Amino acid sequence: MAHLKRRYYVWLLKAYFKKMSRTIISSLILGILVFFAFIGLLNYYFRPLIFKTTENVGYTGSYTINTLPAEILDEVSYGLTRVTPTGEIVPAAAESWSIQDEKTYTFKLKHGIRLHNGQELTSKNINFNFENVTKKEVNKYTVQYILANPYSPFLASVARPIFGKKLAGIGSFKVENVDINGGFVRSMTLVNTKVKNKKKKIYFYPTQRALKVAFMLGEVTKIYGAITPNVDNMDLSKWKKVKTENYTNYTGLVAIFYNNNDSVLNNKKIRQALNYSLPEKVSVGERAFGPIPPNSIYFSQPPTYKITDLELSKTLLSSVKEPIKDAIEISTTDEYQRVAQTVQQAWEKIGIKTKIKIVQDVPSDFQIFIYRIKVPQDPDQYVLWHSDQRNNITHYKNLRIDKLLEDGRSISDLEKRKKIYADFQKYLTDDVPASFYYFPKELNLFKN
């Protein structure tokens, strides 16, 4: 009897499934779809609302809207071109370009790029403002710039970020808010355009100490560009759940500038002696022996590369007719006082007496000045070393260097430019208008 009942229920169940199979299958599929739709809604709508993902980061330095660090601007927008860390020019908003007669640059834009305000990027709303340059809108997606004179760094100039009104860019982050005080940016909030509700708030601090204290107190969870991990006798890199990222910053170069008009330092042998007596290694950076970073496609090793020789320095000094009697004055800022002391110790070994003077900015008159310069993306260093330039603080004059600098910015052919800047490095480092001392080591700190 029990056996018959089991057969009856099995038959009944089969009959039910046969009759309702379509309904059951469609309900099952619908249920799966509803489940995954709910998961998607949870991840992409409700989860961001409940768990706000704002990242607080810190930088040191005083910046205006126009001088913000490149790594920040690159997240908000980019230019027609992009300059790689090695100095190569690659496409960005422009898919291609052509150069006619070294003065006419024609760029074809990529289609479908939109500013954060919804406008499509066209030749009309690219609002670069260059002196002595005429803009021509060839068509909707082609823009042309006509220069008054040849200027090969122009391809690097158009790598500057494109912005519309209210800082509407074309990058992965858009500007939500900027707090400005006295013309300088105190903080800014960026919103990720691809991940809903993901934000980044960036704070700027006047000193390295203030930056690290903010990290200690939890005001920021990431800091960029720290010179050391130490603050108030504490090593932040030793803290639990703190991760460090070390790197050499090739965009900055600490140099020792010699006043070539000075009665002592106008002697090339003395400048060479000072240069060759500098230590081979630097604890705070990667030793530099020229004005162009070693990662650049324009870098070339001059004959004087990596020469550090105390005996050679002493020989050069002994060949000078008038020996140095008075102490040479080294001017520098607070930030580079220890660097100046290291240089002072190195020069004592070859019998050169020095005294250190702390200044607030680039002095109008000096014998020796230690300072950090910004290395341009393009190898062109015309404003620093050409004899008629105001920013040539060393008062260096060399007609051969002048000609090389003039040629370097008037020829667009890559291989020809490499040859020009190889010669530039060769003759400049031999003249030693400055000792190119080091590229600074920096680190980023992250709280996990």
What are 110's two structure tokens?
């990529």
The answer to whether the CB of 245 falls within 8 A of the CB of 281 is no
Per-residue pLDDT, averaged over 328-348, amounts to 96
Which pLDDT belongs to residue 25?
Answer: 64
Say which range, 3-7, 62-66, 131-135, 293-297, has the weakest mean pLDDT: 3-7
pLDDT at 34 over 70: no
Per-residue pLDDT, averaged over 3-28, amounts to 57
**124 within a domain of the structure (yes/no):** yes
What are 363's two structure tokens?
């002095």
Using 50, 70 and 90 to split pLDDT, how confident is the model at 42?
Answer: very low
**349 within a domain of the structure (yes/no):** yes
Domain end among 213, 239, 265: 239
* Cα distance between residue 370 and residue 434, in whole Å: 10
The per-residue pLDDT for range 148-158, each reduced to its tens digit, is: 999 999 999 99
Which pLDDT belongs to residue 58?
Answer: 96
Residues 153, 298 within the same domain: no
Residues 333, 265 within the same domain: yes
Using 50, 70 and 90 to split pLDDT, how confident is the model at 56?
Answer: very high
Strand 198-205 to 184-192 pairing: antiparallel
Question: Is residue 233 exposed (0-12), middle (13-18) or buried (19+ Cβ within 10 Å)?
Answer: exposed
pLDDT at 248 over 80: yes
The answer to whether the CB of 408 falls within 8 A of the CB of 262 is no
Per-residue pLDDT, averaged over 204-230, amounts to 94
Number of structural domains (the chain) is 3
**34 within a domain of the structure (yes/no):** no
How far lies 69's CA from each of 203, 277, 430, in Å?
Answer: 12, 35, 33
**44 within a domain of the structure (yes/no):** no
The per-residue pLDDT for range 101-128, each reduced to its tens digit, is: 999 999 999 999 999 999 999 999 999 9
Residues 157, 202 within the same domain: no
Rounded percentage of the chain residues whose pLDDT exceeds 70:
88
Read off the pTM: 0.83
The per-residue pLDDT for range 366-376, each reduced to its tens digit, is: 999 999 999 99
Domain end among 162, 197, 229: 162
The per-residue pLDDT for range 409-423, each reduced to its tens digit, is: 999 999 999 999 999
The answer to whether the CB of 155 falls within 8 A of the CB of 377 is no
pLDDT at 281 over 90: yes
Residues 300, 422 within the same domain: yes
**25 within a domain of the structure (yes/no):** no
**11 within a domain of the structure (yes/no):** no
Q: What is the CATH number of the domain that holds 398?
A: 3.10.105.10
Per-residue pLDDT, averaged over 269-292, amounts to 96
Which pLDDT belongs to residue 47?
Answer: 47
pLDDT at 440 over 90: yes
Using 50, 70 and 90 to split pLDDT, how confident is the model at 17?
Answer: low
Domain end among 239, 271, 293: 239
- Can you give the residue range of the structural domain that contains 210? 54-62+171-239
**228 within a domain of the structure (yes/no):** yes
Residues 121, 149 within the same domain: yes
* Cα distance between residue 330 and residue 425, in whole Å: 25
* Most confident residue range from 16-20, 69-73, 197-201, 417-421: 417-421
Residues 308, 402 within the same domain: yes
* Cα distance between residue 127 and residue 158, in whole Å: 11
Residues 291, 179 within the same domain: no
What are 70's two structure tokens?
């490149």
pLDDT at 222 over 80: yes
DSSP string, 176-220: EEEEEETTEEEEEEEEESSSTTEEEEEEEESSHHHHHHHHHHTS-
**246 within a domain of the structure (yes/no):** no
Which pLDDT belongs to residue 195?
Answer: 87
